[in-house]
Amino acid sequence: MGTRLLGLLTEAAWEKGESWEVKNVDLQPSHFFPDVTVIGDARVREDMERELKGADVVVLLAAQHRDDIWPVDLYYDTNVGGMKTVLAAMESCGVKRILFFSSVAVYGINKKCPDENHAKDPFNHYGKSKWEAEQVLRSWWEEGHRDWNVIVVRPTVIFGERNRGNVYNLLRQISGGRFLMVGKGENRKSMAYVGNVVTFVKYALEHLREGYNVFNYVDKPDLTMNELVSHVSKVLHKHIPMTHFPYWMGMAGGYCFDLLAKITGKKLAISSVRVKKFCATTEFDATKAHTCGFKAPYTLAEGMARTLEFEFVHPQPADGITFKSE
């Protein structure tokens, strides 16, 4: 996600003459953008004050996002503590614009297409810590910082080239013909193509310069799991058989993998949380994002086709560089 955003902004600066001067502060060096990357920790105020001097806007992506982080305090140390540290450093450095990446996880699962004003009911520590970070940011703005410009983006699950998250794992299983469907496959899933998400971020930074703004980001339409399998089958021009397992059996298997992970100390691809998320309906309303003047450069089908082409039709990239996400 961060790498694609860096690519978009640096391309705009170099090729289109737009006035973007970008700095990437990360815990790890960047393979693609080493010249603009510095090592720093969002939880360490000295790092943030050093790197934010002279900045106009902060895009806060730093987060613990996997659903198997242990101990769970790490979610709050990074997602909430990082927010507090960054805000204090911004004030010290005179920076008054921030775009924060939250998540639709703040709404919980099996809700009826929530918009930005829907009640918050996160079901896991990732969602809870993201909502707590949002509350910290809102309180900061309301209590003496209303001259700041705040943009909160709550994306749904993001997929795209090189992105090794839950959607990639799902597409790999489907394309490989080894797909086991837990449940009836009638639950709907909102998804977002990374190329559209970063373009929306760029649009928001350019056009939303005042006040406190909150947006869900989803690329429509929402597909059922059965429709997703059918779509992948058509794009890849191959028959993909499906075996359905009842929900209780899938959850039982997930709990077994939870126990195995705890015994071995290893992070496994299957867990009860992931089975629960897989079988849940997770569709969200993104009308606000798509009616504010922004136009997504790709349809959901085009983004899916680009991802499948890159990951499964042609050989993997020789450099082997991939990005982890949920």
Secondary structure element (H or E) that encloses residue 247, with its range: helix 247-264
What are the strands, taking DSSP E only, across 176-305?
A: 180-182, 188-193, 212-217, 219-224, 243-245
Contact 260, 160 (CB under 8 A): no
Look-up: residue for tokens 């195995």? 260
DSSP characters over 10-42: HHHHHHS-------EEESS--SS-GGGEEE--T
Whether the ω angle into residue 114 lies within 30 degrees of 0, i.e. cis, is: no
Residue 105 token pair = 């996880």
Amino acid at 277: K
The single residue of 75, 126, 168, 217 carrying the catalytic annotation is: 126
- For residue 192, what are the β-bridge partners? 158
Residue 15 token pair = 């090729």
Active site residue 126: yes
What secondary structure letter does DSSP report for 282? B
Q: Is 130 left (phi over 0), alpha (psi -120 to 50) or beta?
A: alpha
Contact 182, 245 (CB under 8 A): yes
Question: Catalytic residue numbers?
Answer: 126
